[in-house]
Amino acid sequence: MAIEETRTTTSPPIRGCADQEPRSETASPQAPPRAWATRLVIVGIVLAALNLRPAITSFGALLEEVRDGLGMSGSVAGLLTSVPPLCFAVFGVMAPRLARRFGPGVVVCAGMVAITAGLAIRPYTGSAAGFLAGSALALMGIAVSNVLMPVIVKRWFPDRVGSMTGLYSMALALGTSAAAALTVPMTDALGGSWRSGLAVWAGLAGVAVLPWIALVRTRGAASPGGERPPASASAPPEPDGLRITRSRTAWALAVFFGLQATAAYITMGWMPQIFRDAGVSAGTAGLLLAVTMVMGVPLAFVIPRLATRLPHQGPIVVALGACGLAGYAGLYAAPAGGAWAWALLLGVSNCAFPLALTMVGMRARTGVGVAQLSAFAQSTGYLLSIPGPLLVGVLYQHSGGWGLPIALMAALMVPQIAVGVLAGRDRTVEDEATPVPRP
């Protein structure tokens, strides 16, 4: 097995998140045994990941019902599909600062609470503005958790970045696909109310709060910095003055992240409607979206492990992009006739997301580097992705069909492949963005 997958219990501390001196697990009677704490972190990561997309895919599955119930136009619905990347860009950039102040675990715990509250509130506000506000609350929690998951993985599992990112990504894909597949059937089972069908996902988010509360209470009692990973005297030193915007790799990864996010949120927000307009039933359209999302369950575990074994991740980027181009071509030519094949191909293409997360962990050597790169790549990337879903809604409304929107999706895949190849080069942001002291 490759060395990066060999399990260790050491990780570099993130400045400001915990005391800087290494401390053994026996130093405080309040600290739980290391193995127990590690298992708790794994459970927390998996449950958190399960809740990072149902707020979006459950809405996509009932988009037509929500539009009718709240009186939305196509452009307003397109705006709502653009809200996730907007919130991720705005709130995600705050995550490193919050983590330094309160600790990553505390911030993720608060994020799970925000997701629970937002999902419970938004269906019952009675207006598009209220629905938007509730969605923004949930998405705020998702945004900070998005950024801090790679940080927590790097801190607790520094030599298992590929396998733990794969586990996290697999859980994320499972939650995404489950929301897409089960929202419509659960809505029918709950009396046909789309409000109940959306609100039920707040229960899953509430469960995800529990392990983070336990982790924060047991690990955070010793210091205000929150949970403490095992420390090591041999951990690499944290860089001073890391200027992430000077790194070409960081910019390439940010643009790659933005383009893959554009494709993903267009798919989650609009693909069921594409199939429904082609004559596919609402339930089947939801299942097709679920198939697209569920492809990420096995592949999200395999791709990060494969990526950590390759010196250059460009070949994976090209393979995923080719699947996306083939899926869009089929969606344009025969959306209903080959629906299952197109759903599978687009599902493979959407696995650019776990690949991007893996590259975040690989393109930085230290905890501080991962935190800054994760915040920069995700916030900048999601900011770049905002116009995509909105533009699809506008093109759909004014062209009266899906030809132009699908052409736009395919066109964006070309630069995604190009910048992904650049981001996949074997280098780190510390080498590019840390100023060299003058003699």
Summarised one tens digit per residue, pLDDT across range 256-298 is 999 998 898 788 778 888 898 888 887 788 788 878 877 777 8
Average pLDDT across the chain, whole number: 78
Query: Quick check: 99 and 148 in contact, CB under 8 A?
Result: yes
What distance in Å separates the CA atoms of residue 382 and residue 375, rounded to the nearest whole number? 10
Q: Specify the pLDDT at position 14.
A: 39
pLDDT at 435 over 60: no
Query: Quick check: 354 and 300 in contact, CB under 8 A?
Result: yes
pLDDT at 216 over 70: yes
Contacts of 23-27 with C-beta under 8 Å, sequence gap 24+, read 23/228, 23/231, 25/230
Convert the pLDDT of each residue in 317-344 to its tens digit.
999 999 999 999 999 988 888 899 999 9
Segment 196-210 mean pLDDT: 88
What distance in Å separates the CA atoms of residue 115 and residue 110, rounded to the nearest whole number? 9
Assign 76 a pLDDT band (cuts: 50, 70, 90). low
Region of poorest pLDDT, from 15-29, 122-136, 198-212, 229-243: 15-29
What distance in Å separates the CA atoms of residue 201 and residue 185, rounded to the nearest whole number? 13
Q: Specify the pLDDT at position 112.
A: 94
Bridge partners, 15 (sequence order): 18
Helix (H, G, I), strand (E, B) or coil at 27: coil
pLDDT at 1 over 60: no
Residue of 100, 96, 95, 124 lying closest to 111 (CA atoms): 95
Structure tokens at 434: 């840390």
Most confident of 54-68, 123-137, 310-324, 391-405: 310-324
Q: Specify the pLDDT at position 422.
A: 92
Convert the pLDDT of each residue in 336-370 to its tens digit.
888 999 999 999 998 898 899 889 888 887 777 88
Segment 17-23 mean pLDDT: 36
Q: Is the model more confident about 387 or about 314?
A: 314
Query: Is the entire prediction scored with pTM above 0.75?
Result: no
Q: Is the model more confident about 437 or about 408?
A: 408
Query: Quick check: 393 and 404 in contact, CB under 8 A?
Result: no
Region of poorest pLDDT, from 165-179, 254-268, 312-326, 403-417: 165-179
Q: Specify the pLDDT at position 230.
A: 47
State what percent of residues in the chain have pLDDT above 70. 82
Q: Specify the pLDDT at position 18.
A: 36
Place of tokens 């996730």: 84
Q: Is the model more confident about 433 or about 15?
A: 433
Assign 75 a pLDDT band (cuts: 50, 70, 90). low
Assign 72 a pLDDT band (cuts: 50, 70, 90). low
Convert the pLDDT of each residue in 106-165 to its tens digit.
899 999 999 999 999 888 887 777 888 888 899 899 988 888 888 888 788 877 777 787
What distance in Å separates the CA atoms of residue 390 and residue 395, rounded to the nearest whole number? 9
Residue of 137, 84, 63, 47 lying closest to 289 (CA atoms): 63
DSSP assignment string, 186-216: HHHHTTS-HHHHHHTHHHHHHHHHHHHHHHH
Q: Specify the pLDDT at position 288.
A: 87
Bridge partners, 18 (sequence order): 15
Helix (H, G, I), strand (E, B) or coil at 62: coil
Place of tokens 């927390």: 44
Place of tokens 């988009």: 63
Assign 231 a pLDDT band (cuts: 50, 70, 90). very low
> Where does residue 398 rank: exposed (0-12), middle (13-18), buried (19+ CB within 10 A)?
exposed
Structure tokens at 63: 């988009």
